[in-house]
Amino acid sequence: MPAQNPRGGGCFDGLFALLMAVADIAALVAAGLMLGLRGWAQSSQGGERASAAPSDPPMDWTPAVWFGVVFAVMVLLAYACWTGGLRITGGVQAAFAVLAGILLSVVLAQEYDRSHPEPAAPAPSSTYHGSYSQCRSGGDSHECLGG
């Protein structure tokens, strides 16, 4: 059986949910801003890195760790609020935790794609394979190259 709200009424729960939503938005914006500034600083140093070996860059785990921490804190707060009787706040926290989980998945996918680029397409090769290849004109082998 869930614990009863000792503060009484849903007004406190609603206001606390609003306060937590503002804090969640601030945390997500701060994490995104820090990652954006970090990416901007790395791109401004791109000329120095271009002279290095053209190998694939290693996966950068920093964005995943930042969004992972934000996600974990939101999940723990949602659980604590829900079990503490603050159902509205727990539901709002759970919704923001889902959003943070989606952002974490997107960040992980982007970092994986960046660190594992697709191989370049092979150069087109000639369709002619010596004197035994089939003539495309439909004529006999004397009309084709090598025949």
Instruction: Show the 3-state SS of 7-24.
Output: CCCCHHHHHHHHHHHHHH
Please report the pLDDT score of residue 63 as a whole number: 85
pLDDT tens digits along 28-67: 999 889 888 887 887 787 655 544 455 777 888 888 898 8
Question: For residue 105, is pLDDT > 70?
Answer: yes
pLDDT single digits (tens) 63-81: 889 889 999 999 999 999 9
This prediction has a pTM of 0.66
pLDDT at res. 141: 56
Cβ-count burial of 35 within 10 angstroms (0-12 exposed, 13-18 middle, 19+ buried)? middle
